[in-house]
Chain A
């Protein structure tokens, strides 16, 4: 996998997730950040910081991105969500248009 195909997502507490750009693009918000014309730091450095999303939630979101790609290719499994995470996850999903 070439480095250009990866993006870095950084949680509020500084934890870094390096994932496929294709997976990250599942989020409309991240897609806009990475593809918007001009020289946003996000576009240039291929990384996005989320000061309002905790590590636990961001990890779950990355899992969702990959699950979503699998689903789209025909592997329709269930995506498990821990009850205690649901509300926080939903707010993040709302922000990420996911």
Chain B
């Protein structure tokens, strides 16, 4: 019984946030920004809540994992049963080199061991024992060497392989995978050893669909080996600063390429010229490349282009008229270029645009009139521009707008009522010093807001009364210094809040902590530079979901926080002072 009814395989994970151009998966950096990604399970456990019982499969799996040392081998089990036990052991980090032996010859399909502590060459033998059943392996961030990689030679069924951040694998190791022609997905980010010579192994992987070589500094000249990989749809060579125009030439025949990421490379307008024939290209990320508006000549041949990132390039107004040819564009990022609002007239006809980023460009009010007709716009980034209140009237008709960033602009309270009709708005950044309570009062109709950033705005206690209208808020930042405990009381009913930043309000005391003690959804809390003391910490005990707590420059010691973490807040992973 059992063996025949194999379940659908889990979708391979590594679907990173391609449109933003970075990955949150690698966690050695320890940045608190990625708190969410590394602790996803405890959250989903909470979410599951009442109503759905754990399956009998799950209960048995937990039971077996608890007493794992009683089991010598799982090779007699149906594959999906042993796979489930294996996955749970990995998840609960109970797997070690001894327990691993029980999984020899289990015909497992997926071994997701990315970032797994202790994984090294000695584990590769067990991995290879899964033989042709093996479909995907991830041992990113491990100490596996060329010799370890050689074990995979006979795993001919392998479709996905990830050895990101494995800095001991070199050209010699690459030779071992050259025969794995069923491979569709290969990723080896941030490898400092692999050169063009090692890349020659890729020419045998004729079924490759997705290749990720982000941050490999020595692969210059190696892309020539991709020439025959005509099934390739996605190539990521972001942050490979060795990549030059000549590396673009071998890509011109990859007619199925849909996504190409070459940010922070040395590619110029000349290199972009080689991309003209990529008629299926939907995504092109050239952030930080030394290209100018002249490259638009080549890009206008790409009729399928939906996502274009040209931020931090060498664009100037001159030549930007060719933007008008990119009719299919949905997402355009032009941030941090020396361009002015004179070019917006060329975007006027791009009616498919859903997201436009003009961060830190010389955009003034008059130019915004050209955006008024872009009715599909959902996301508009105007941070650090010269946009002021009179420009906002051009935005008042953008009824689909969900996210608007006006931080560090010159908008004032008087202009904000122009935004009051944007009923789809979910995220609003008004980190603007001259915004006050009066401005906030004009926004109370935006009841759908989930993210409101008033970091530097001069909000006082009386302004916090308006916050009661934003019952869906999941993140709120008010750090202008004007709040006292009385104002924080108006925040206590915003029970959806997961992130709350009230730092720099130097009058806040322990009473503020008491006021927010009912915000049990909070994941991140910052009340730095206040009069909070260690005595106030008791009010935080109910905040069981808290992962990050920052109380710098308060009367709170690292020891106080450690004690709080140990006794009441087990999910807390980041705290300051530490």
Contact = CB atoms under 8 A, between A and B. Distances in A.
Interface of A: 52-53, 61, 64, 67-68, 71-72, 74, 76, 79, 81, 83, 86-87, 89-98
Contact of A91 (B2, B50, B59, B71): B2
B81 A94 contact: yes
Contact of B60 (A68, A76, A86): A86
Given A72-B51, A91-B81, A94-B80, A79 B59 contact: yes
A71 B56 CA distance: 12
11 contacts: A67-B53, A76-B50, A83-B70, A86-B63, A87-B71, A90-B57, A90-B77, A91-B77, A94-B81, A96-B56, A97-B5
Nearest to B1: A52
Nearest to A97: B5
B194 to A, nearest CB: 41
Contacts of A93: 55-57, 60
Contacts of B67: 83, 86
Nearest to B52: A72
Interface residues of B, number: 22
A83 B62 CA distance: 11
Contact of A89 (B5, B56, B80): B56
A68 B56 CA distance: 9
Interface of B: 1-2, 5, 50-53, 55-57, 59-61, 63-64, 67, 70-71, 77-78, 80-81
Main secondary structure of the interface of B (DSSP, over half): loop
Contact of B64 (A61, A72, A87): A87
Interface SS of chain A: helix
Contacts of B78: 91, 94
Task: Tell me which of A53, A74, A83 has the highest count of chain B C-beta atoms within 10 A of its own C-beta.
Answer: A83
Contacts of B50: 74, 76
A10 to B, nearest CB: 15
B60 A89 contact: yes
Contacts of A94: 2, 5, 57, 78, 80-81
CB-CB nearest 7 A-B residue pairs: A71-B53, A90-B60, A93-B56, A52-B1, A68-B53, A98-B56, A93-B57
A64 B52 contact: no
Contact of A72 (B53, B57, B61, B77): B53
A94 B2 CA distance: 6
Given A86-B64, A91-B2, A81 B59 contact: yes
A98 B70 CA distance: 24
A90 B81 CA distance: 7
A97 B2 CA distance: 10
Contacts of A87: 60, 64, 71, 77
Given A61-B56, A74-B50, 11 more contacts: A68-B53, A81-B63, A83-B67, A86-B63, A87-B64, A89-B56, A90-B56, A90-B61, A91-B81, A93-B57, A94-B5
A86 to B, nearest CB: 5
- Which residue, A64, A86, A90, A97, has most C-beta atoms of chain B within 10 A? A90
Q: Most chain-B Cβ atoms within 10 A of its Cβ — which of A64, A86, A92, A96?
A: A86
A64 B5 contact: no
A16 to B, nearest CB: 19
A89 B50 CA distance: 25
A53 B53 CA distance: 23
B64 A90 contact: yes
A95 B63 contact: no
A87 B53 CA distance: 20
A76 B71 CA distance: 29
Given A83-B67, A90-B64, A93-B60, A98 B53 contact: no
A59 to B, nearest CB: 13
A37 to B, nearest CB: 20
A89 B58 CA distance: 11
B536 to A, nearest CB: 34
Nearest to A61: B56
Contacts of A72: 51-53
A97 B80 CA distance: 12
B55 A95 contact: no
B34 to A, nearest CB: 32
